[in-house]
Chains A and B, each alone.
Chain A
Amino acid sequence: MSFNPKHILGIKNLTADEINFILDTADSFKEINTRQIKKVPTLRGKTIVNLFFEASTRTRTSFEIAGKRLSADTVNISASSSSVVKGETLEDTAQNIEAMHPDIIVMRHSASGACDYLAERLNCSIVNAGDGTHEHPSQALLDAFTIRQHKGDIKGLTVTIAGDVAHSRVVRSNIHCLNKLGANVRITGPKTMLPPGLEKLGCEVFSNLNDAITGADCIMMLRIQHERQGKTLIPSLREYSRFFGLNDENLKLAKKDAIVLHPGPINRGVELSSSVADGKQNVILDQVENGVAVRMALLYLVAGGEKLQDE
């Protein structure tokens, strides 16, 4: 098959075949990252603007490295150092950037739907690097890639996602992605952090962590997002850690060969005990490594294809 997306805005509108095509493409790009000369000429002459309105280390660096290894020219703009602080609107900022003819804008924004909004208004391709509490497609894809790397087929696996579900775009993208690939998705977290209607997305909801991870193949721990919530959702971090933190004891309830994922940055001692964060079962650094390959695949697929031919 061939897959020529103009934008990557979310997982929701992708088919299982398209997701697998992205993962297969990423698999081929992965080899480049282990070479001595980590560069191929695939996107030579393309310009990629990383437009980040929210803080990010992993995602922005990963997209930047991905673009550079494909020989694209990458430019980083972060909100704090841009005209946004002078009061420019998102659309004005984006139109000004587009006037410089980039081929792809990779954007992170605190408003859900910001990427869709720009995709309707600009001519260049948009890749969503996280919009509000909506989607974070590249993260879900690198999670799926990492699970596939460790477990082979994703179909039939039980994946538990635990933590601050209400504020997490990673969860939404992951639920769509894992469901489409045939995994059984379990969700758990404090009641105040579980939005209503999760069952409708096709997952099982648990009120306590131990039940949710019993027999699981993969456990995905989420970060408590201090920046997106008041202090009202949980009484204290210590209590959260006690009931929803993963440690050596409760990890034994999962399958023996279960893997632990985390989108980063981790809050050591909160959602993950230090021993689990440094343990053999965690694949957090694999996730980061695979992130570059997955993002190379996304940039390649978005930039390639007939649609971008300049006439």
Chain B
Amino acid sequence: MATEKIEILDTDGVNRALTRIAHEILEKNKGVEKLAIIGIRTGGAHVAAQLTEKIREIEGEGVSHGTIDVTMYRDDLGARSNLAVGHTDIQFPLKDCKVVLVDDVLFTGRTIRAAMDAIMDIGRPDSIQLAIMVDRGHRELPIRPDYIGRNLPTARNEQIEVEFNDQNKAMAIHLFRA
């Protein structure tokens, strides 16, 4: 059976969504002070880099930026074959930071749970907020995003993919329906 591919957002759409999220983050946090953008490997890390760039353009000021790998904190280790463990790279103290955790697709919420545990092991931030490119529903944990690129109710067997170019910039978002 052929898989149907539906475009949810094109390059301009992705760009506008990111710009809006950047503004929302700045509005809610009243600027960049103590703000830290942390992306979840690998998709979220790319989106986080783009958001960091947008914030710099808007505020004219840089913001702390890091990447986190949650493999070591997954709740399904041992139930699947070994996953490669990626690097966690957070080069600033998290104490008193307002962390904005970034991922590309929000689904069950289990990755976010793992990421929050991982962050708490590294330091004690003031708060953690969540920014997501696509929220596709089907949460299995009480987790709610603060910033959403696109709300998209899906069926469980559908797939959402954020497409990145060679510079790791998000170019489009597609839904695959079997």
Contacts and interface: CB of A to CB of B under 8 A. Distances in A.
A25 B79 CA distance: 19
Given A31-B88, A40-B72, A306 B121 contact: no
Interface residues of B, number: 22
B78 A303 contact: yes
Interface string B81-96: 1111111110000000
B78 A308 contact: yes
A41 to B, nearest CB: 6
B85 A29 contact: yes
Nearest to A302: B82
Contact of A306 (B80, B85, B118): B80
A305 B82 contact: yes
A42 interface: yes
Contact of A2 (B73, B81, B89): B81
A117 interface: no
A304 B85 CA distance: 12
A121 B104 CA distance: 47
B40 to A, nearest CB: 15
A124 interface: no
A25 B118 CA distance: 17
Interface in A15-65: 21, 24-25, 27-29, 31-32, 35-37, 39-42
B61 to A, nearest CB: 28
Contacts of B89: 31
B80 A28 contact: no
A250 interface: no
A32 B121 CA distance: 10
B77 interface: yes
B85 to A, nearest CB: 4
A268 B16 CA distance: 66
A70 B79 CA distance: 17
A306 B79 contact: yes
B82 A4 contact: yes
Contacts of A308: 78
A309 interface: yes
B103 interface: no
Nearest to B74: A42
A32 B73 CA distance: 13
A244 interface: no
B59 interface: no
A308 B81 CA distance: 10
Nearest to A5: B82
Contacts of A3: 82
Nearest to B93: A36
Interface of A: 1-4, 21, 24-25, 27-29, 31-32, 35-37, 39-42, 70, 297, 300-301, 303-306, 308-309
Given A3-B82, A305-B81, A308-B78, 5 more contacts: A28-B71, A31-B88, A35-B121, A300-B85, A304-B78
